[in-house]
A and B are shown apart, each in its own frame.
Chain A
Amino acid sequence: MNKSWRPRGLGLVAAALVAFVAVGVASAGAATSGATRAAQNPFAHYGKITLNVWSADNQDPGPKPVIVALANSFHARYPNVTVKLKFYGLTDYLKIIQLALNSGSAPDVAEGNQGYGTDSLLVKAKLIRPLTSYVKQYHWDKYFPPGAMAQFRWTPDGQTYGKGPVWGVAQFGQSTGIFYNRTALKKYGFDPDKMPTSFAGFDKLLAQLRPKVPKNEPLAVIGDKSGYESMHSYGLVQGAFLPAIAVRNWIFHAPGARYDTPANIKALTLYQQWFKKGYFGNDYNAVDENEAAAAFAKGKGIFYLGGNWQAQVIHAGLGSNVGFMNMPPGPSGKYVAVGATSLPLHISAKSKYPDVAARFIDWQIAGPQSARLMYAQNQVPAILGAPAPPKGNPYMASLGKGWQQLVKDNGLTLFPDWSADTMFQFLGAQLQELMAGRETADKMAKAVQGNWEAFDKRIHKK
């Protein structure tokens, strides 16, 4: 549930692009296909088959055109396999996917969502199959360092997260950071090429900017209508105070993990002060994440604190005036931020062609051209060892660098709402209370820990 963050619009442009890419890929496929290729098709014995694939990565421009193009090139490579794609908006998708996978017409490949909200149930109800043999066959363990792979691991009873077999893998790297409007920074006398290199420096920059910017304008734009969005901007503050592993342990319900630690309370207190000082303006509770990103793209505010999945939307508005960087590190010197891969691709336990499904997943995450197609949509490939972004696109380079820094420092905290099925809503609401100054950091942290413990008890008593 981490990502109702789906930008919309610009469908026509993307459709044109998809058509363009598809035509290119299809003709390339036709040119090389022939007797040799047919012999190399290990799925030929199935005859003409259809692979049903469901996805909630429906942002367009963004991930959707990438997935469509890769599905087309997959068909060109394995002509007897027709891929039928179905896209959904995330919040709707999460309500139907477990029922669809349980039904008589389950898709062969379907995205789930990491954490106790969705994947836990899919595993527990045996609706998807463990991918252990395919991990070996396609060397997926080389694509994801152990810390990242943990988000796909469950014990077969669906109760213990981060351990056990791998049940899915994903293609996009999605992390949070700071988008900055270069023109706006210059306007207030700051050099966008000399951004702060420490968290304290960024905190100071905000303090220096506040008196210079008109009172009714926010410094940093965020949307928080649904509550969960604040988890992203809070994660950027939290990362300066505690290591990513502390958050991950809490998500995985590792023994001894807590939310109400002194370090986290300190981070929550500072986050609350940022609101008190008016850094975020006052309308964030009325706009959602996509609206906030769109407003920033139109020139509102100086910073946008949020996910790189908004990169293409923001770029469409600000063009070369936008820059991206990770939140500079705290005293530890390590980069930390909320982030993970995109939604994991699962294989239905009912699929008649699990081997084709696995090949399709591999094609999505590491197939020929997959990185190039992603870069064309300002998306970051999730896998280690992906080809470098094309030269001459500094924006894409900064997005790629942001993801790589986090992977290298083991600094992706994953999404805190994965920690319990209630947390998407509960943590979101508690952060809203904190932001509004209606609850102290101490009380809020204790409430969140209480909710986490109640869930912990609920899953472990069974």
Chain B
Amino acid sequence: MSDASREAPRPRRVTGRAPGEPHRVAYLFLLPGLVAYVVFTLFPVVQTVRLSFYDWDGITSKAWHGLGNYRELFGSSEIRAAFGHSVELILFYAVFSLAIGLFLTALMTHFRVRGLMFFRTVLFMPQTIATVVVAQAFTWIYDPSGPLDAFLRSVGAGSFAKVWLGDFTWALPAVGLIGTWISFGLVLILLLAGAQRIPQELYEAARVDGAGFVREFVAVTLPGVRNELLVAATLTTITALRNFDIVYNTTSGGPAGRTEVPSWLMFHDAFEIHRVGLAAAIATVLTAVISLVALGISRFYTEARQ
């Protein structure tokens, strides 16, 4: 927030007051925001990074541990696997939901949809439901006696029925699909908002030129929603990387660690086995990874634009 306000153009006054005076006043106005930012964001971040160099159980005195936690982090196949699972989840949270969102946007811009408002509301709904509730609902859906397996059996595909959340191969995709379900509504709303700003003339021109559904999408809709796509990609990727609630409430990392993700391990290390330093190290690395990925996405788009 404070970044944005700092970048706001300052009024340049040539006459009257002594130079520099308005500047100081401006800082005074920035102060409340700055204090809140430092106390609630910057300080905890710095504190977390600091803790990652200590061995600490959360209660007794800390002991300096140097890079020990990081060595353990990079040496642990369990933690590496957890980061790997996160990458896999990006496929479900970001890639799938972007694909679905783009497809639906293409449909909705090409064809006149009756009751657009209704569909928008329904499709956005997953975003508004508490994730704990979503997780409970999907736990029920995926249950061996739940509707998914019942459906598979009723259509004669009983051999595909599985213990989804307890299956070594399928647990992670099953968790990932919950993410797709949650994310694509947000993606769709963002993309539709962008698509609404595309001048109708462009579509008319494209149609006059004989563009079909695909051509129209590639030439008009896609470039028109580029910015929204960037926002959607960044948001969903970050959600995928920091996913905790869905995993915690469906599988708790199981079976045998197949759905463990960094946030879950962080929680486990800090609160269940009292290794706050190691948890802080995971948090630090996760923050770095998320920042890099977010940066990478925006780079990719800036370059693609030029």
Contact = CB atoms under 8 A, between A and B. Distances in A.
Interface size range of chain B in the complex: 20 to 34
Nearest to B257: A429
A98 B163 contact: no
Interface string A216-251: 000000000111000000000000000000000000
A286 B144 contact: yes
Interface stretch (A199-207, A258-266, A431-439): A431-439
Contacts of B273: 117, 421-422
Contacts of A102: 59
Interface stretch (B20-28, B88-96, B164-172): B164-172
Contact of A98 (B59, B144, B253, B257): B59
A225 B166 contact: yes
Range of interface residues on A (Cβ < 8 Å): 20 to 34
Nearest to A430: B256
A433 B256 contact: yes
B272 A121 contact: no
Name which of A94, A102, A429, A462 has the most chain B CB atoms within 10 A of its CB. Answer: A429
A285 B166 contact: yes
B254 interface: yes
A286 B274 contact: no
Contacts of A117: 272-273
Contacts, number: 72
B255 A285 contact: yes
A226 B213 CA distance: 49
Contacts of A95: 271-272
A338 to B, nearest CB: 20
Nearest to B165: A286
A125 B60 contact: yes
B94 to A, nearest CB: 28
Interface string A280-298: 0011111000000000000
Contacts of A277: none
Secondary structure dominating the interface of B: loop
B60 A227 contact: no
B167 A285 contact: yes
A226 B59 contact: no
A231 to B, nearest CB: 14
B58 A283 contact: no
Contacts of A99: 58-59
A285 B274 contact: no
B254 A285 contact: yes
A285 B142 CA distance: 12
A383 interface: no
Contacts of B35: none
Contacts of A462: 63
A125 B57 contact: yes
A127 B274 CA distance: 15
A125 B163 CA distance: 43
Contacts of B168: 436, 438
A239 to B, nearest CB: 24
Given A94-B272, A421-B274, A121 B59 contact: yes
Contacts of A283: 144, 163, 166
The 5 nearest A-B residue pairs measured at CB? A285-B166, A432-B256, A286-B166, A429-B256, A421-B273
Interface of B: 57-60, 63, 142-144, 163-168, 252-257, 268, 271-275
Given A127-B59, A286-B142, A286-B144, 5 more contacts: A95-B272, A98-B59, A117-B272, A425-B272, A436-B168
29 contacts: A1-B272, A95-B271, A95-B272, A98-B58, A98-B59, A98-B274, A99-B58, A99-B59, A121-B59, A127-B59, A225-B166, A225-B252, A225-B254, A227-B254, A227-B256, A283-B144, A283-B163, A286-B142, A286-B143, A424-B272, A425-B268, A429-B255, A429-B256, A432-B254, A432-B256, A436-B255, A438-B168, A438-B256, A462-B63
